[in-house]
A and B are shown apart, each in its own frame.
Chain A
Amino acid sequence: MIANVGCSSLAMAFLAALYGAIAAAYGARRARPRYVESARHAMLLTWPLVTVSALAIIWLLVSGDYQIHYVASVTSNSMPTYLKVTALWGGQAGSLVFWSWLMAAFASAAGIRKWHRDRELLPWVVVVTMVTLAFFLGLVVFFENPFARLWLTPEGRQVTALFQPRGTTPLIPSDGQGLNPLLRHPGMIIHPPTLYLGFVSFVVPYAFAIAALVTGRTDDRWVRITRRWTLVAWLFLSLGLILGGRWAYDVLGWGGYWGWDPVEIAALMPWLTGTAFLHSVMVQEKKGMLKRWNVILIILTYALVIFGTFLTRSGVLSSVHAFAQSAIGPLFFLFIGVTFVASLSLLIKRWDDLKSENQLGSIVSREALFLFNNLLFMGILAVCFWGVIFPLISELFTGQKVTVGPPFYERANSPLGIGLLLLMAIAPLSVFGQTSWKLLGRALWKPLALSFMVPFFSALRGTTNLGALLGYWVISLITLVTLYEFWRGALARRRRHGESLPVALWKLTSRNRRRYGGYVIHLGVVLMVLGVIGIEIFQTETQGTLVQGEQLTLDRYTMIYESLTQFDTQDGRNVTRAVVSVFRDGKNVGELYPRRDFYYSSQQPMTIPGVRSTLEDDFYVLLVGWESIGLSGATFKVYHNPLVNFLWIGGLVFILGTMVAAWPDRGPEPVLKLAKKRAATARSKIGGLR
């Protein structure tokens, strides 16, 4: 019953989206406002419809209706309720519904709030969002239906179908497969949804860009309207990536945080184009340049978002070697191809309208540095894309599959990343337009001179690793320049308005949120880089088999193996848990409990580390084996990860900075404010001419 409601609601949402797209396009083209209005209503209807459907899935998941194929495949009796709810995005069909639900919500949000202001653009925004939504809903309705049931044929074969095939009987398993134990983690609640939020919100700026191309409103209006959407999309995408890293560090990757897995790269790629876009739209807003480039970036971002959605769910590329293709793979590629070609041809049609209003200034002008920044982001994108498709290409041309692993990405991306960091150090001091090295040098020399202090003193204290020293230098320079910018701005305010420094700092930031929020993001990156230096360069590890009372030493840490216990839990696990005492410089700093859980239902173990975490370092202990008789001897793998917590703290600062930049403005909309300002300058110009 519930399944039928959910399923029909899903089908209706699909029809509404399809109708909305067609009616909006027709109405806008033929200038028939009634059709546009009707399309808008259809669009507003999609969200409640998909909501009903998503709630139905959640209901089925929680109540454990295992005849539903999806429910049986992602949940089991022993799973806690919160994980049953999150199983909505635990499998392919459900996550597509979740994606559609977000898409419907964002489309409605874009359509409700500014309908009258952006009357020209919005019909096309409806078209783009509803086409996207219809595609995803179509996939769910026709190919990956989450409400499909299991049936048993008279020959005893299992089939999955929405309606009862002739001669079959319903098959109701007593328990489901359950979510893989590795996914049974609080990270599952928040990591996939944030990533999806980021993915889906990028569709909105893309939709406005397309609307601008179709209607010929190729000024920077679409950029200004979608400024906050873009920032919010980027916020969630960044958060999703950071949370994924943290989850990997805690459970999945055993102390790793990023493995250059194609699925990770798939989520990184739209982030790269999105980040480039965020920087280069500033050039468009300030100087009326890079307009075509920005359109290209948002088109790329959209294509990569769809591609990423597909990859994160299906894993088609990471397992290219042996993977049963699902029916929706080719459809995804078709959709990406069609939208990409259509977007590009629109861009070509408007190519001349998107001419730059200004010439690029000198090589150290702000706009030139932003251009270099964009090129470096595109370079990293090229590296990532090449790495992902290289196996396919090599097979195509040589018949031999050749892959590239993490060393490829690390080797190729490190210089580009350092280039970006250097730009991050210089660009805040540069100005738009004509400028010179001399001018830049005057602003830069003080922070530059000071920045050598940190690597100098850390070399004196015994750091000999050149990479680390270089890293310290770059991040000190960025930090100094960024703080100097805050200081300079606040001082100027104090002089002008007679404010105290804290007030001046506060007002400075709240009046130029994007700029100073951006600087906070830069500081977040600095902290993250510090964490990466710590774990990549200074990580040490050891392993050993100990009997009770024996000890193992790694750097300043010593651990003593105290005891081992084994017990069963309520939710179907057998837990083997070790107790180890940890000493730092000979001082007892507490106990850790590394353990290994064995899940009876899926016959799979899961290793959970014991971690002592401080600002200075993490001491990370894995229980990797034990003697089954007497429980006396146990083997541990131990990591010492210096500075790694700065990675997470930096992530937090990064997100805070993005929130500062994206926080809604009080008072009139920036778009309107600017329009007024422009009108005023236009008037004064005309007045001047007279």
Chain B
Amino acid sequence: MGDIERSDVGAGFGGRSKLLIGVFLIVAAVIYLIVTSTQSAAQYYLTVEELLTKGESALDRDIKVSGAVEGDTIEYDAKSLELRFTIVNVPADLDEIERAGGLAQVLHRAVTDPSEPRVDVLYVGPMPDLLRHEAQAILTGRMGMDGVFVADELLLKCPTRYEEEIPLQVEEG
């Protein structure tokens, strides 16, 4: 069969198999890149509560954590650009948030409930415009030995009273 095809297509046969190899190589490269990049760049996305219960095991890897900003705790040293504040545990589950009356409600309830777990955060950089009381902070960084979460990246969302389905967001980092 190969003989017939070869004489039919002539040089094209070699070209075709080379082509298939090319296609295969690209597809393999894409899969390889996706798999390895996922492994090296994956970050656990935790709530404050989960972060605290993870304890030691959370120390050595990049983690994403989200919580409600407690306004009174915001301290900013404009000289060193050290920004410190505390975030309060909010549930991660969409349905749970929905049942509780939306994101704005959940954030509000979290900061007014002293029994919710809290964690202190340190971020070095310009003070983000959207940082304020009851904003939702999504931080990327590592848990320090002293129990302070050191964030390299800080994403903030401020759900407004009317358009709760469109939290405004801006990335800083």
Contacts and interface: CB of A to CB of B under 8 A. Distances in A.
B160 A390 contact: no
A141 B26 CA distance: 46
A625 B33 contact: no
Interface stretch (B111-119, B126-134, B142-150): B126-134
B22 A363 contact: yes
Contacts of B171: 252-253, 256, 259, 261
A361 to B, nearest CB: 6
Given A180-B168, A324-B164, A403 B30 contact: no
Contacts of B157: 319
B38 A177 contact: no
B33 A416 contact: yes
Contact of B19 (A363, A545, A604): A363
Interface bracket on A: 35 or more
A545 B97 CA distance: 42
A315 B38 contact: no
Interface stretch (A69-77, A130-138, A293-301, A585-593): A69-77
Interface string A292-320: 00000000000000000000011100111
Contact of A379 (B19, B29, B127): B29
A371 B94 CA distance: 42
Given A314-B166, A322-B66, A626-B78, A359 B44 contact: no
Contacts of A386: 34, 38
B97 A322 contact: yes
Contacts of B97: 322-324
Given A182-B170, A402-B44, A415-B29, A322 B163 contact: no
A572 interface: no
Most interface-central of A322, A323, A409, A606 (chain B CB within 10 A): A322
B163 A403 contact: no
B163 A73 contact: yes
Nearest to A379: B30
Contacts of A313: 166
Given A359-B9, A368-B19, A404 B30 contact: no
Interface string B20-47: 0011001101100110111011111110
A391 B45 contact: yes
A576 to B, nearest CB: 12
Interface of B is mostly: mixed
A624 interface: yes
B11 interface: yes
Contacts of A359: 9, 12, 16
B54 to A, nearest CB: 11
A401 B92 contact: yes
Contact of A622 (B34, B40, B64, B126): B126
Nearest to B167: A319
B166 A91 contact: yes
B140 interface: yes
A490 interface: no
Nearest to A626: B78
B129 A408 contact: no
A543 B81 CA distance: 9
Interface in A344-401: 359-363, 365, 368, 371-372, 375-376, 378-379, 382-383, 386, 390-391, 394, 400-401
Interface string A244-263: 00000000111010010100
A500 interface: no
Contact of A403 (B26, B64, B136, B161): B64
B172 interface: yes
Given A92-B163, A314-B166, A325 B40 contact: no
B69 interface: no
B90 interface: yes
B166 A624 contact: no
Contact of B40 (A319, A361, A411): A411
A126 to B, nearest CB: 33
A186 to B, nearest CB: 18
B18 A402 contact: no
A339 interface: no
A4 interface: no
27 contacts: A181-B129, A252-B170, A253-B171, A313-B166, A315-B169, A319-B167, A319-B169, A320-B94, A322-B90, A322-B97, A322-B136, A323-B103, A324-B164, A359-B9, A361-B15, A371-B19, A379-B26, A379-B27, A390-B38, A404-B41, A408-B37, A419-B26, A434-B15, A543-B81, A625-B76, A627-B78, A635-B79
Interface of A: 69, 72-74, 91-92, 177, 180-183, 252-254, 256, 259, 261, 313-315, 318-326, 359-363, 365, 368, 371-372, 375-376, 378-379, 382-383, 386, 390-391, 394, 400-405, 407-409, 411-413, 415-416, 419, 434, 543, 545, 603-607, 622, 624-627, 633-635, 637
Interface of B: 9, 11-12, 15-16, 18-19, 22-23, 26-27, 29-30, 33-34, 36-38, 40-46, 64, 66, 76, 78-79, 81, 90-92, 94, 97-98, 102-103, 106, 125-127, 129-130, 132, 136, 138, 140, 153, 157-173
Given A324-B94, A403-B42, 7 more contacts: A261-B171, A372-B26, A376-B26, A378-B30, A379-B26, A411-B41, A434-B11
The 6 closest A-B pairs by CB, nearest first: A625-B78, A362-B15, A408-B41, A73-B162, A379-B30, A326-B165
